Structure 1
Amino acid sequence: MRAKTKIVLLAGLIGAAFLPVVYAAPTAGASMQAATQSVGPLEEQARASWRDAMAHIATPSDGCFQATYPSVIWHQTACHEVVPRVAPVPRFRGFGGAAETAGNGNDYTLQSTSLITQAVGTFPTVTGVTSETGVGVAAYGGGGILGANEYSLQINSSFDDTTSACKGHSGCTVWQQFVYAPDYEVQGSAAVFMQYWLIGYGSSRCPSGFGSDGSGDCYKNSAATTAPDVPATQLGNVKLTGSVTAGGNDTVVFTNGTTAYSSSGKDSVLYLATVWKVGEFNVVGNAGGSEAQFNSGSSITVKLAVSNGSTTAPSCVANSGSTGESNNLNLGTCSTAGGSTPYIQFTESN
């Protein structure tokens, strides 16, 4: 592509973030793989702008959608009802791993003074990562999806807030996860979905559609869209976005290179839009309290940016994560910044 053409395309993509909802019927043979060819800096800038745009362009309804660069049109795709695998809250802090390693509660969270409408998780810098293996953790029964390149990306709310979804149950709080999970149900394919929790709902029967984890908590998954399994060595190419709309849909978007995958469901499942002020993002084990173990010498920069109607820098709070999954990387210091999309950023390494 000629430089002049690239510049025009880039300008159009930047403006696309402000376009109204767009939609098209399904397209046969839409690409399921990210482009792997090397591109120049202008083209990469255009693709980055496209990825940002797709995170802001709402899908027209609940369901599953896909878009392929350079198009900013969401094409409806088949949804899959996947059997929920539990991604637990951190019940066993200090389960035997190094105290500094990330996850199982020991993680940084972004804390906002105003309601979050969107959170975007990225890995701006990834160095030294040559392998990753999902391993079971004894305190959680050794469960999860285990083996090479088994991990999950999670954007999590806190589990300290209650909404009307609790139906008046004393002590009940809501917890919502926006998830990308390789091999979640089908070997060789990843799932992009949301997992909903009613923590402390009690010993009575869970609401219709929710299962019980046996300890008084209820959970279920949204419909899932299918995405490619991305090796952990390519974390720098991916982006995970979670957004909520009061009275509308909550949406998870996973972007890998030049393809975006989304799944949307009603915010009324948990009413997260009415309480969301805390966000956690990281790469951790794939369900069941498992751990993502990276090779020695790995270093990953983690960034979580939000839209919250404010330009004030958020707080970055240590040891406040909400997922039971973990990794074997040691947390560094956390920095914050304000602006149009306030964020927290930290490095984890081993």
Structure 2
Amino acid sequence: MECAEAPGYRSALPKAKVREQTVGNGSDYVVQAPSGSLLSAAAGSFPTVTGVKTEKSAGVAAFGDGGILGSNEYTLQVNTNFDSSSAACNGYSGCFAWQQYVMSTNTPVSLTSNQLTNKTEVFIEYWLINYGVDNGSNICPSGFIDGGADAEGPGDDCVQNTKATVIANGQLPITDLASLKLSGSAKAGGTDAATVTFDTEAYTATVSDSLTDIASGWTQAEFNVLGNAGGSVADFNTGSSVTVNVAVTDGSTTAPTCISPSKDDGTTGETNNLTLGKCTATGGATPSIQFTESH
């Protein structure tokens, strides 16, 4: 299994007020744990994929046309809720912890280089949003890069990626979507992990949970196939239809809740051009939600 340095990938924070008619950017089904329960894991998969022939990541004007653009450029993302109770925020009011478990089909080799890895990788991007009070210097805790002043608060957005694990050389074609699964887990006082299963092989990247303390406040999970970084959109061909399943572990057999897109609970700025269908929730040994999306 090949390891790689922390990639120069950056997701975009959602801008719900300017979202377009796409899935993502605050308009997505989100799985909600039962009241009083916390998620320790979420696993996303695509039980049924029909008519998918092509996909192209394209820039979105509201996000400055950013991202890694082109054919078979996309991400799978399992995203947590924004957690305002995280101990990692060190008591700063308005600070949120956020964690993304990401598979990207291409990433910059670093934040200071436009060179791309041309490899499909899995990693974790972890955030402390609106941390501290911006004073023009790096105020982020150890283990984070200072991403600059937060758009809405007095603090800075602190972010970092784990080292990546390489899944494949080149971009996995979108026609492999049904063979891909992405799961994220979090353990208080332990290790968080992102795992991609491709066919029968598993590829994992890890980080200490103490950096975000997300395990202590993880109540929702979002999963989908989206554009590749920077608020981009994954454009699928006409006739595409995808069933999305998000299975969760919360210590119970109670059915979770499908949170409606109108609630703006999705936590990433990347999108796709598919239209959401109905969402259903199921309890039992593997509580989950399932929904369709098509073009």
TM-score normalised over the length of structure 2: 0.88
Instruction: Note if 1:148 corresponds to 2:79.
Output: no
Structure scoring higher RCO (CA < 8 A, sep ≥ 6) equals 2
Cα gap change, 1:93/1:283 in structure 2, threshold over 3 Å: closer, same or farther? farther
Instruction: Note if 1:84 corresponds to 2:20.
Output: no
Distance 2:162 2:28 in 1: 25
Give the deviation of 1:78 after TM superposition.
Answer: 4.8
Partner of 1:19: none
Match of 2:232 among 269, 273, 290: 290
Contact 2:18 2:62 in 1 (8 A): no
Contact 2:63 2:232 in 1 (8 A): yes
Matches within 5 A, 1:303-342: 303-319=245-261, 320-342=265-287
Decide which structure has greater helix share.
1
Partner of 2:158: 218
SS in structure 2 opposite 1:125? strand
Partner of 1:171: 94
Give the deviation of 1:160 after TM superposition.
Answer: 3.7
Contact 1:180 1:190 in 2 (8 A): yes
Give the deviation of 1:341 after TM superposition.
Answer: 1.4
Give the deviation of 1:218 after TM superposition.
Answer: 1.2
Distance 1:291 1:328 in 2: 7
Distance 2:174 2:236 in 1: 9
Give the deviation of 1:263 after TM superposition.
Answer: 1.0
Partner of 1:207: 141
Decide which structure has greater strand share.
2
% identical aligned pairs: 49
Larger Rg: 1
Give the deviation of 1:238 after TM superposition.
Answer: 0.6
Partner of 2:126: 196
Match of 1:106 among 27, 38, 41: 27
SS in structure 1 opposite 2:188? coil
Matches within 5 A, 1:1-350: 77-95=1-19, 97-98=20-21, 101-113=22-34, 114-185=37-108, 186-201=116-131, 202-204=133-135, 205-214=139-148, 215=150, 216-228=156-168, 229-319=171-261, 320-350=265-295
SS in structure 1 opposite 2:274? strand
SS in structure 2 opposite 1:213? strand
Give the deviation of 1:304 after TM superposition.
Answer: 0.3
Q: Deviations over 1:15-71 (max 9, x none)?
A: xxxxxxxxxxxxxxxxxxxxxxxxxxxxxxxxxxxxxxxxxxxxxxxxxxxxxxxxx
Where do 5+ consecutive residues of structure 1 fail to align? 1-76
TM-score normalised over the length of structure 1: 0.75
Contact 1:126 1:235 in 2 (8 A): yes
Contact 1:145 1:288 in 2 (8 A): yes
Give the partner amino acid of 2:119: S
Distance 2:33 2:254 in 1: 9
Contact 2:7 2:164 in 1 (8 A): no
Give the partner amino acid of 1:307: T
